[in-house]
Amino acid sequence: MVEQPPLAGLQVLEFAGLAPGPFAGLLLADAGANVLRIDRHIPNARTQPTSDVLTRHKSSIAIDLKSIDGSDLIKRLAKQADIIIDPFRPGVLEKLGLGPKILCATNPRLIYARMTGFRRDGKYSAMAGHDINYLAVSGSLSLLGRSGAKPHSPYNILADFAGGGAMLFQGILLALVAREKTGRGQVVEANMVDGASYLATFPRMLLKTPLGNRPRGENLLDGGCPYYDTYETKDGRYMAVGALEPQFYAVLVKGLGLGDQDWETRREDREIWPEMRRKFEAAFKSKTRAEWEQIFDGTDACCTPVLEYSELETDAARDGDQRPAVTLRRTPCLAISEKGADPNIHGQGPGVAGGGYTGRVLYPGQGGEEALKKWYGWTKGKDFSIENGGFVLKSKPKL
């Protein structure tokens, strides 16, 4: 029997911020938590959506954080919240009287989750930065790129999302487990430098072994090896090769029509890698990607097409329906795509429009009235009012 999502019933206040904070909130929302985004109060803002596209399953409330009324409202909301997400640079919420010392004192069960780019106690703590900067000082960026070329940042996936939002989500889950044992919440801190560095644990350790002690782009797993790389096809598309094991390599070279090169027993000999790469390149360019797919699909050659999201979105045969990162059979997370919401098949709950390819626009204040009614039983006019787009307490409503 399928039950509610794993985090159903948890109440989360997410201060609006850039992508890493909203991503942590998105992970919580997809797992069933009630996430209320706190947007900055801007006159007439309710007619203008924010740039945040990570708003699935969320509601919004607009508050003037610099006003006494706004600060009081946050404090009242925090008394019953389970989790707060603070995405700001160190000290921002503390200056507004909304830091963990104050909010956790009034709600001992509160999990105050905050995230920064640089370490809070490091030399860069007072500096601004972005994904590429956090990767740079973590050491991770030095590993990424081709031989003889400059380090290359892979979009903003590794620091902002994997090392930032996802790590903060993990910390929140750990704090929830600890709260079950102690009955008390705590401050959870994540930063993208440590997060990215932690994700690079394996390649960092390989730097001291023969598998990874060569310069960037010249090792087994970073583009130096011809049978672990990507190759252009006749139609300008690409195939990805990862035939590391001997049995997989044998299937690969046979499919490429290169089984007569006597490479199988010498595939680890770096002296023949330049020739091997040249012949791989020529072979792949002799056929289209679709033709190579016909040859390698269903085999153990570890050779697959490099698919683009435009294909995944439009071609049902490409398995492009977006799903939660993990499947929970008894308490499934909410579906990302409305097409995959059968929990008996995909381990997903109800879906949403957009299929994971189009972000849902959320206006400041959208869904906020309903959230306050659901969370606290508050009603507009009696317990709060909306003045020039901002939510303001009318009295001291009971929680």
**Does the pTM of the predicted model rise above 0.85?**
yes
Q: Helix, strand, coil shares of the chain as percentages rounded to 5?
A: 35, 15, 50
Q: What is the pLDDT of residues 210-236, one digit of tens each?
A: 999 999 999 999 999 999 999 999 999
Q: Is the pLDDT of residue 350 over 70?
A: no
Contact 7, 31 (CB under 8 A): yes
Q: Is the pLDDT of residue 355 over 80?
A: no
Q: What is the CATH number of the domain that holds 291?
A: 3.30.1540.10
Model confidence at 335, pLDDT cuts 50, 70, 90, reads confident
Specify the number of domains making up the chain: 2
| Per-residue tokens: 354 | 């957009």
**Is 209 within the bounds of a domain?**
no
Q: Domain of residue 128: give its range.
A: 11-199+322-393
pLDDT for residue 40: 87
Residues 90 and 124 in one domain: yes
pLDDT for residue 86: 97
3-state secondary structure of 384: strand
Model confidence at 311, pLDDT cuts 50, 70, 90, reads very high
Q: What is the CATH number of the domain that holds 96?
A: 3.40.50.10540
Q: What is the pLDDT of residues 106-131, one digit of tens each?
A: 999 999 999 999 999 999 999 999 99
**Is 57 within the bounds of a domain?**
yes
| Catalytic position from the list 30, 64, 86, 160 | 160
| Own/partner pairs, 139-143, CB within 8 angstroms, 24+ separation | 139/197, 139/200, 139/204, 140/196, 140/197, 140/199, 140/200, 142/216, 143/200, 143/203, 143/204, 143/216, 143/222
Among the ranges given (85-89, 133-137, 320-324), the one the predictor scored with the smallest mean pLDDT: 320-324
**Is 311 within the bounds of a domain?**
no
The H or E element containing residue 294 is helix 289-296
pLDDT for residue 359: 84
User: Can 160 be counted among the known catalytic residues?
Assistant: yes
Q: What's the mean pLDDT when you consider all of the chain? A: 92
